[in-house]
Amino acid sequence: MKNIFLIILGLVAIILGHYLLFFDKTSAKEDTNMNKKVLVAYFSATGTTRQVAQNLAEAINADIYEIKPEVPYTNADLNWMDKNSRSTIEMDNHNSRPKIVNDNFSIENYDTVFLGFPIWWYIAPTIVNTFLEAHDFSNKKIVLFATSGGSGFGKTVENLKKSVANSTEIKEGKLFNNNPTKEELKKWADANL
Ligand SMILES: Cc1cc2nc3c(=O)[nH]c(=O)nc-3n(C[C@H](O)[C@H](O)[C@H](O)COP(=O)(O)O)c2cc1C
C-alpha cells in the first residue's frame, strides 16, 4: 500500500514538474516579445514616406521618429533634373552626410527599427547614412521600407551597411508605392519582427 502511494506521489511530481517547466518557458517567450521595443524612423522630403510611416506606427502601436534635416529641402533642392541642385550634388557623392537636427534622440531602448525613406537616385538619401552614423545600432535589427517613383531598392542595403556595425542586421523590406492600408502594413510588420 505504502509503495503504491509512493509511486502515485512520484508520478504526480513528474507531471507537475513538466507542467511548471513548460509554463516557465512560455512565459519567458512572452516576456521577450513584450520587452521588444519597436521604432518607426523615417525621412521624407515631400510627405509620401511620412504618410506610410505614420500609418505603420499607428498600425503596430510603435514610437515614431522623424529624421529632420538641419536645413530643410526646398523644391529647387529636390530638382533631380538640375545637375547643380542640392540633392544631385549630395547623391553624386555617396560620402556626403547632410546634417540632421540634433534633438537628443536615443536609440538605446529599441531593438527593431522600421526605417523608411524615399528612393533617391536608386538608393537611400545620404541623410539616412547620417542618421545611422549618429547612433549606435549594434545588435539591432533594421527593416527598410521606402517609396519611389517606381525604382526598387537597388544597392540601398549595401550603401547603408557601410554606416552600421557588423552586428547590425539590415533587411531590405518593402516598397510601399500604392498607399497600403494599416491592416496591410501591420501584416507586413508582424512578419518582419
Ligand atoms: C532627388 C530625387 C531623386 C529621386 N530619385 C528617384 C529614383 O531614382 N527612382 C524613383 O523611382 N524615384 C525617385 N524619386 C522619386 C521619389 O522617390 C518619390 O517621389 C518618393 O515617393 C518621395 O518620397 P517623399 O515624399 O517621402 O520625399 C526621386 C525624387 C527626388 C526628389
Domain range for 23: 1-35
Instruction: State whether residue 6 is helix, strand or coil.
Output: helix
Number of domains in the chain: 2
Strand order in the sheet with 169-175: 63-66, 38-42, 112-118, 141-147, 169-175
Q: Which of 42, 80, 83 to mutate to test the pocket of ligand 1 (most atoms within 8 A of CB)?
A: 80
How far apart (Å, rounded) are the C-alpha atoms in residues 82 and 12?
A: 79
The model's pLDDT over 8-46, given as tens digits with 9 standing for 90+, comes to 655 556 655 555 555 554 444 444 445 669 999 999 999
The model's pLDDT over 140-191, given as tens digits with 9 standing for 90+, comes to 999 999 999 999 999 999 999 999 999 999 999 999 999 999 999 999 999 9
Q: Which of 52, 148, 156, 174 to mutate to test the pocket of ligand 1 (most atoms within 8 A of CB)?
A: 148
Is residue 16 located within the same domain as residue 59? no
- What distance in angstroms lies between residue 161's CA and the mean position of ligand 1's atoms? 21
- What distance in angstroms lies between residue 47's CA and the mean position of ligand 1's atoms? 11
Is residue 27 located within the same domain as residue 50? no
Is residue 103 located within the same domain as residue 49? yes
Is residue 21 located within the same domain as residue 109? no
Cα 49 versus chain centre, distance: 14
Report the DSSP pairing between strands 63-66 and 141-147.
unpaired
Set of cell numbers at residue 52:
506610410
Which ligand 1 atom sits nearest the alpha carbon of residue 49?
26
The CATH number of residue 108's host domain is: 3.40.50.360
Is residue 152 located within the same domain as residue 112? yes
pTM of the model: 0.85
